[in-house]
Structure 1
């Protein structure tokens, strides 16, 4: 993978003097560290943070959500997002769930409703804490995830369009695909209908998103959808259903497909409009889950 570009933003030393709670320990730059006492957190979701040594004066924030059975530490170590944070001065929040065998809450109304409860509330609290403590840029907050984390990425941009600028979902499902299901919200659980490729018309998918935050008329987050065509756990149709959903929400149509994808030669790129607000990548022979590509993702986010 290409070396991240050198930082071009104005930088400042990390400071902890603006911490909401002066009794909290300082954040040590350059390593993953747990944060407690960050705000409303009804499901006891855990927060880990990576703050680079050279922090931008008004840094972007990326929330990274681990897959089912995973952890914040594992996801931190699994791909090179921290190296890009070092080069570009942004902060990464690695959230951690311990429920449902470490699978995210993507089926309950609390997370599928703006201002509700569930894991989504804790994640939004983490974002607010980080923006306040490190003078973060509220217009540059992003979320990404893999597998269950990709499903939760769809939940976050659907329930909180006022918080997130864009999302990237690696092998996920559409917003509200698991809504109301019993048991663990995972393809290994009792309800496999969603992960096997539950299909709805675009406008029905879009209505689920709009009903999560009735009356909201502001800007909707941009979305990047990445899926493997060889995925037998979360079927490729789930990726196409996400594109149907977000194309209807954003009012975009599929304009062209390209095989010379920045994700690699095995991926086909599906552009909606000019591809800056919605784009899909589907990999031939790629299984579960499609490996995150930090460079392609961060270019889509607009922070490198």
Structure 2
């Protein structure tokens, strides 16, 4: 459990949970992705869980292991306990907890949004996988669009929106609103199939009760951006498809308000700071 809390952070401020990808660690996912910069500027606490090699030799969060992806079990429970401790230690606002992650971290962020929807106000999934696409290693390697060998992507299962949605609805007894979600993907990703983004859209539009047709289609720095709104005109899902990007978190190093990050393995300088736009979508830039 790694944390960053801005000096003299006032009570009842938001908490952002950021989950690293495979072959990374928590300290690779703070400054490099811009989260510390925005924690300071927007005044929120930051929690970065660290996967252990004893759980996964590649330090991937186990988004595909049944005992880790159900409510109050395994890694999902561990992350929940970290959030509870963070709330106790820093007096954060429990109504303003957000979670994001890359790759396996994105898959585990999806898990947390599904099994603990009551805990989160929003999420962001970067090169991630729909909830319960797999419940064991074999399914994960053969049915969820991930790379078995470099450059060779497995097929991505194509379920109906209702079938995807049922997997989330059956994950808890929650009957209230679900968190809003930002979904990012690169078109040239050879580790996670870009088709996963559409399956995530199918799953979460169904859960959130909006249709699969975007209400707004525009661009962010030239990259495809779509918004899906409810009947009240509130954007509940957004997707950003980064043209030409491989597998990693998009950043844009520099000192501008909308810039962030330091290029590294799986942290890709594509001229777009994903953390900045995620914060905007969540509404943390106005709080």
TM-score range, shorter chain: 0.7 to 0.9
Deviations 1:225-245 (A, max 9, x none): 000111121111001100000
Deviations 1:240-281 (A, max 9, x none): 1000000000010223352332xx21x111221146211111
Deviations 1:88-111 (A, max 9, x none): 221000111112210001112233
- 1:296 and 2:277 matched: yes
Q: Which residue of 2 aligns with 1:229?
A: 187
Q: How has the CA–CA distance of structure 1 residues 256 and 184 changed in structure 2, closer, same or farther, with 3 Å as cutoff?
A: closer
Q: Which residue of 2 aligns with 1:211?
A: 170
Q: Which has the higher helix share?
A: 2
Deviations 1:61-101 (A, max 9, x none): 00000000100011123221111111222100011111221
Distance in 1 (CA, whole Å) between partners of 2:153 and 2:140 is 12
CA contact (8 A) 1:154 1:175 kept: yes
- 1:114 and 2:95 matched: no
- Give the count of matched residue pairs: 252
Query: After the TM superposition, which residues 12-31 of structure 1 pair with which residues of structure 2 at under 5 Å, given as runs?
Result: none
Highest Rg: 1 or 2? 1
Query: Shift of residue 197 of structure 1?
Result: 2.1
CA contact (8 A) 2:97 2:120 kept: yes
Query: Shift of residue 129 of structure 1?
Result: 0.7
- 1:55 and 2:9 matched: yes
Gaps of 5+ in 1: 1-46
Distance in 2 (CA, whole Å) between partners of 1:76 and 1:281 is 21
- Which deviates more, 56-65 or 236-245? 56-65
Deviations 1:13-57 (A, max 9, x none): xxxxxxxxxxxxxxxxxxxxxxxxxxxxxxxxxx00001113132
Deviations 1:177-203 (A, max 9, x none): 12233498793559x999642211101
TM-score where L is the length of structure 2: 0.82
Q: Which residue of 2 aligns with 1:41?
A: none
Q: Which residue of 2 aligns with 1:68?
A: 22
Distance in 1 (CA, whole Å) between partners of 2:117 and 2:179 is 6
Query: After the TM superposition, which residues 84-95 of structure 1 pair with which residues of structure 2 at under 5 Å, given as runs?
Result: 84-95=38-49
Query: Shift of residue 299 of structure 1?
Result: 1.2
Q: Which residue of 2 aligns with 1:44?
A: none
Secondary structure of the structure 2 residue equivalent to 1:56: coil
| Among 193, 208, 214, the residue aligned to 1:255 | 214
CA contact (8 A) 1:68 1:102 kept: yes
Query: After the TM superposition, which residues 243-282 of structure 1 pair with which residues of structure 2 at under 5 Å, given as runs?
Result: 243-253=201-211, 254-261=213-220, 264-265=221-222, 267-273=223-229, 274=233, 276-282=235-241
Q: How has the CA–CA distance of structure 1 residues 228 and 275 changed in structure 2, closer, same or farther, with 3 Å as cutoff?
A: farther
Distance in 2 (CA, whole Å) between partners of 1:156 and 1:208 is 13
Distance in 1 (CA, whole Å) between partners of 2:175 and 2:5 is 33
Query: Shift of residue 294 of structure 1?
Result: 1.4
Distance in 1 (CA, whole Å) between partners of 2:140 and 2:208 is 30
Q: Which residue of 1 aligns with 2:112?
A: 156
Query: After the TM superposition, which residues 3-18 of structure 1 pair with which residues of structure 2 at under 5 Å, given as runs?
Result: none
Distance in 2 (CA, whole Å) between partners of 1:193 and 1:164 is 35
Distance in 2 (CA, whole Å) between partners of 1:184 and 1:245 is 17
Q: Which residue of 2 aligns with 1:168?
A: 124
Deviations 1:99-157 (A, max 9, x none): 22100011122333222x11111110111111112111000000001111111111110
